[in-house]
Amino acid sequence: MADTSTDNLNEGLFQLLFEKSPGSLLVKADAPRFTIAAVSDAYLQITSVQREDVVGNGFFEVFPDTGDDPNDENTARKVFTKVIETGVKIDVPVYRFDIQDTVTKKLSEHYWSCSNIPIHCSEGKVAYILNTVVDITGEVKAKQAAIESENRLLMAADATGIAFWVLDIKTADFSFSPQMVTIFGHQPNAEISLSYIRNQVHPDDMQNIVLTAYNRALVSGQYEYEVRIFWPDESMRWIRTKGMVLFNDKNQPERMLGTIVDVTESKRDEERKNDFIAMASHELKTPLTSLKAYIQLLEVKLSASPDPFVASSLTKALNQVNKMTTLIHGFLDLSKIEPGKLHLKKNIFDINKLVQDVIAENRVIAGTHSLKFTPHCEVKVNADREKIGQVISNYISNAIKYSPKGSTIALTTEIIENHVSVSVADQGIGIKPKDQEKIFQRFYRVEDDDMKHIAGFGIGLYLSSEIIHRHKGQISVQSEEGKGSVFSFTLPLA
């Protein structure tokens, strides 16, 4: 250690330098009195004492240690004694010593950081201790306030069942609030790792939802999904997570943070609602089927009727029954779309042939609209033919619904990289950009005067997008208000 002896210093110069130094105080190593030999202006100011009351007095006469905790190893007396015994500098990063206000005489809470440097005399013994202090009350209080506000947030989150998590993308370091373990069905304070939590996610959801959402979040910055998890007792629960990605100044993703809530109850409510819709739709289907059969029978029986009203009424009645059947089928499909309930029956087939079949089925409802198809050469896909047909049929019936009579609806298939793209273009009312993002959501319908007289429930496109996503394809729309829309989807080639 450098020799910090004062023996050779000019006493007047030393005094001046010392008094101008930041928060410093020099005490003699004359334990237990520890006489104060010098003090700087800054020290006097921050401790609210006068030089004449300090210099020459014992340290503990000026700064009494009567309230010190006997078990605290950082009290000034213990530290000074240790510095003399060991001859080594001792730092105390934080300690509390309250200061008396000169005017009000009231004690105010203060925190300090101090350093105690031994000053050796020529024989090598410690002659003085240089005690330098910095008032860190502001920092300590700010830290306390931050901890308090974090605790308050944690308590509020705890009360509402929300857990917080943070993931370091590079190191995979994962930290979370205590609520997390309860959401994943463990005892409070149980130690669980990120891989353990990942293993609790339903394997299908991990593959289809979590990984896709994660990769999407690295680009978009937003992270959100609902998945099924298994508790250690093997019961199944639902969780919803929502979060964001923090990027560094090079725009590389660094950390992800978010919240997790258990949404099992609301999912069960939704399931009950779905079951009800499924049951009601199923019950409605049977009488409707026989109604249709009777109308068709009547059409045959009365085909020779001379009254044209009979034939046209029966055609209209049949049309209405068909419309209602489509709606009811839509509701039935909707109730089956929940994860785990939509089963794909995949086969290899030619998509152009399917488009032609669906056009043929829709010719009657197309009325005066003309349906034109420009196929690409034979394209095979491995998909659920009926469900893909349902998507194309939905695109066509929307194009008919939302475009003027007599206009053309153009269908095309084309190859884009290793996917086939199927498009349906109409010359109809078009869709505003703000609605284009939302029309694939469940029950979303554009609120417009034009739309009021067009019937629908806003489920067709939702079902279509679910079907296409389950086939690992993409669904999209391009549209200009008043000019028309092009609805497309892609499917991987077989």
Interface residue list for ligand ADP (CB under 6 A): 394, 398-399, 402, 426, 428-429, 431, 439, 444-446, 451, 456-462, 485
Residue 430 C-beta: closest distance to ligand ADP, Å: 6
Measure the CA–CA gap between 346 and 162, rounded to whole angstroms.
40
Cα dist from 116 to 71, 84, 113, 360, whole Å: 20, 10, 10, 94
Q: Where are the beta strands (DSSP E) in 309-387?
A: 347-350, 370-374, 380-383
CB 474 within 8 A of CB 489: yes
Q: Least distance (Å) from ligand ADP to the CB of residue 331?
A: 11
CB of 266 to ligand ADP, least distance (A): 23
Nearer to ligand ADP, 122 or 320 (CB): 320
Choice between 192 and 327, CB closer to ligand ADP: 327
Choice between 157 and 324, CB closer to ligand ADP: 324
CB of 436 to ligand ADP, least distance (A): 9
Q: Which is nearer to ligand ADP, 205 or 426 (CB)?
A: 426
Q: Which of 116/427 has CB closer to ligand ADP? A: 427
**Closest separation in Å from C-beta 171 to ligand ADP:** 44
Coil/strand/helix, residue 336 = helix
Tell me the residue length of the chain. 494
State phi, psi for 340 to the nearest 5 degrees.
90, -15
CB of 424 to ligand ADP, least distance (A): 8
In angstroms, what is the minimal distance from the CB of 400 to ligand ADP? 9
- For residue 35, which phi and psi values (nearest 5 degrees)? -65, 135
Q: Residue 38 or 446: which CB sits closer to ligand ADP?
A: 446
- In this structure, which amino acid lies at residue 209? I
Tokens of 403: 């475009």
Nearer to ligand ADP, 27 or 459 (CB): 459
Q: What per-residue string of b and e applies to 123-161 under the rule 16 or more CB within 10 Å gives b?
A: eeebbbbbbbbebbbeebeeeeeeeeeeeeebeebeeee
For tokens 């010593």, name the residue.
97
Q: Cβ closer to ligand ADP: 132 or 394? A: 394
Report the greatest alpha carbon distance in the chain: 135
Question: Which residue number has the CB closest to ligand ADP?
Answer: 456
Of residues 40 and 490, the one with the C-beta less far from ligand ADP: 490
Question: Measured from the CB of residue 459, what is the shortest distance to ligand ADP in angstroms?
Answer: 6
CA proximity to 181, closest of 228, 227, 224, 232: 232
Tokens of 443: 């029950």
The residues, ordered by sequence, that sit 6+ positions from 35 with a Cβ below 8 Å of its Cβ are 27, 28, 56, 57, 58, 59
The distance of closest approach from Cβ of residue 278 to ligand ADP in the complex, given in angstroms and rounded to an integer, is 19
405: left (phi over 0), alpha (psi -120 to 50) or beta: beta
